[in-house]
Structure 1
């Protein structure tokens, strides 16, 4: 009888260890690099956009430069509220620029991560962080990726790690928050972007037309809930 109890106890202990190992094995790492701006090979992964595509006069650039402590990305340019005279585009607003990652080869799975972290050095403006997820509707006229956005205030002149809860990202349609009961699918992320508007943003942040500059070290996903 004692031998049976010993065998049963050993079996239960082994099962518990196996279950614990399997659970740990299934959990993603505590952090995951999404973008790292420490190499010029990062540049082809992004494309720039601005109101200039619609008759505006804003401009932007993205480069990888050595700031003395290693390479980092520099997203910079000028925000203008003016519109090209005689433009065929009837735009309702101007004064925006952005950098969007080119679509991933498939998608990346951020399931299990609850924070998007960005190591940045800015100019006191508010920037918009966007996560694009695969469109689950796929109906006619609705082929665009789903987009989720939130403001990121970047203090001026000092490196800063902005930690944004994934739950703070709101569903948007072409820059406007939509009133819909939608839930992000973090397992099907197809891209990200950072953008800046001349107007709006977090109260107290720099706004208005003029130059902007955002330096980037990396963008990561963090898992803080265990």
Structure 2
């Protein structure tokens, strides 16, 4: 995907007549956590989310300050991301998306006003220094702690592997046979590991057995031992099986009770003979079943409390219906993985506000005289940009669906200027905190922003004058974002949020 598509996607979100309304996915995605919620960007993010009518939880260090700022209606967490023991698991229950606006505190050496007016204005230069916790503690250790705290709540882009052969995960699930012998039948099954059974010649699981209708039987199954800690899959949309089919219909059963003979939330699935393929079973398709009968009075399926998994091959469907593919005799179903998945298109679950310039301090041949103060003073400011980049790398490596926004110098100017989005960490300029807050929320709703790191600033002139603005653009070649290669084509996207001109790529 080209950067132009990302830029257009974000601008469409910002410029949409319904921009003040949450998307369908956001409406159903539960709580948005805002960290750094009392800062210049964070408080604006909270305000915009509230105006959209979305449930917000704000992570703050100073409860009194936050209550004065937001009033009594905002759900507050009093915690500090630099202290992992303050990030209690219950604080993140129900959180599906996170906007992180935490940043190390920088201020003028000469001092500032109580409302930090000198720092916030972002235009006039004051000799800076770090106030409070170090960049390493906030931008690196803090991000590490935050990722650990939210990972289970927001989910992983590639899904959560429940069964498979990556590392030692294969030993995590203990399977046992549960066949019709419990009702007097004679069918039998087992679960084995085939060392070369998967589609690439590696190990796979194998559900196999012999099914018989003798003595009114007709089913076999394998079921996991009850999990010692329930699996919370509420961040996901369903279960995905990778298997080699035999043309028959099977059942997947998820149980939310530790009792042995209880309701199972069930879905049938058909397989393709002699082909490896992926079966996706949405949680919304599960029906509560007890002994092959729909349990009409059962509670809704709770994906946050899964106790066991079961695979079944049965003559019986539900409510007296029969499995149309059922055949007595031997069967086998190779299975390479079971994982929870997120529906596509996947949008960012973690939007992080970083800073332009993070890759520049160690860039060879850079003329520091043309760079912003943070680049020139990186060492004096406790390696602020170095640790911001390390924090970004943690996010990119976490597996969480993310977007990383690198704004240029932040100001208190109003939103509404024409925006430039770029990649490669070359641009300088400024942008209002209000605009960054709006971009954060637009990114949450854009699948094109997922997995992207990008810079943004606004033009000093409106679109008809954009040619005269080119002298603001640096001439450095596109670089890499840490170890992640960035598209190397030279481009700039000049975009007007409110329709003042065309949205078009400009070659430079």
Superposition TM-score, scaled by structure 2 size: 0.36
Matching residue of 2:180: 51
Q: Which has the higher helix share?
A: 2
Secondary structure class of the residue paired with 1:167: helix
2:322 and 2:262 map into 1 onto residues whose CA distance is: 29
1:156 and 1:143 map into 2 onto residues whose CA distance is: 33
User: Shift of the alpha carbon at 1:44?
Assistant: 6.6
Per-residue CA deviations over 1:54-78 (Å, capped at 9, x if unaligned) read 3212111211012261000111111
User: Shift of the alpha carbon at 1:52?
Assistant: 2.2
Larger radius of gyration: 2
Greater mean deviation of Cα atoms: 173-182 or 63-72:
173-182
Match of 1:151 among 268, 272, 277: 268
Matching residue of 2:99: 20
Superposition TM-score, scaled by structure 1 size: 0.77
| Structure 1 unpaired stretches of 5+ | 1-9, 84-92, 136-141
Secondary structure class of the residue paired with 1:56: coil
Matching residue of 1:171: 288
Per-residue CA deviations over 1:145-198 (Å, capped at 9, x if unaligned) read 542001011111010100111000001112321223631111111011000113
Matching residue of 2:193: 64
**Within 5 A, what are the aligned runs for 1:125-204?**
125-134=248-257, 144-180=261-297, 182-200=299-317
Matching residue of 2:213: 81
Change beyond 3 A, Cα 1:143–1:206 = closer
Match of 2:231 among 97, 104, 108: 108
2:255 and 2:228 map into 1 onto residues whose CA distance is: 14
Per-residue CA deviations over 1:112-158 (Å, capped at 9, x if unaligned) read 211210001121111110000137xxxxxx88554200101111101
Which protein, 1 or 2, shows the higher relative CO under an 8 Å CA cutoff with sep ≥ 6?
Answer: 1
2:173 and 2:231 map into 1 onto residues whose CA distance is: 18
1:80 touches 1:198 (CA, 8 Å); kept in 2?
A: no
Change beyond 3 A, Cα 1:197–1:118 = same
Q: Which has the higher strand share?
A: 1
Secondary structure class of the residue paired with 2:214: coil
Match status 1:207 vs 2:326: yes
1:167 and 1:192 map into 2 onto residues whose CA distance is: 17
2:288 and 2:203 map into 1 onto residues whose CA distance is: 33
Q: CA RMSD in A?
A: 3.2
User: Shift of the alpha carbon at 1:43?
Assistant: 8.7
Change beyond 3 A, Cα 1:170–1:56 = same
1:144 and 1:94 map into 2 onto residues whose CA distance is: 17
2:315 touches 2:323 (CA, 8 Å); kept in 1?
A: no
| Structure 2 unpaired stretches of 5+ | 1-37, 47-58, 60-97, 102-145, 348-508
2:177 touches 2:222 (CA, 8 Å); kept in 1?
A: yes
1:133 and 1:208 map into 2 onto residues whose CA distance is: 30
Secondary structure class of the residue paired with 1:172: strand
Secondary structure class of the residue paired with 1:113: coil
1:113 and 1:52 map into 2 onto residues whose CA distance is: 35
1:118 touches 1:218 (CA, 8 Å); kept in 2?
A: yes
1:100 touches 1:194 (CA, 8 Å); kept in 2?
A: yes
Secondary structure class of the residue paired with 1:20: strand
Secondary structure class of the residue paired with 1:189: coil
1:133 touches 1:145 (CA, 8 Å); kept in 2?
A: no
Change beyond 3 A, Cα 1:145–1:203 = closer
Greater mean deviation of Cα atoms: 177-186 or 16-25:
16-25
Secondary structure class of the residue paired with 1:186: coil
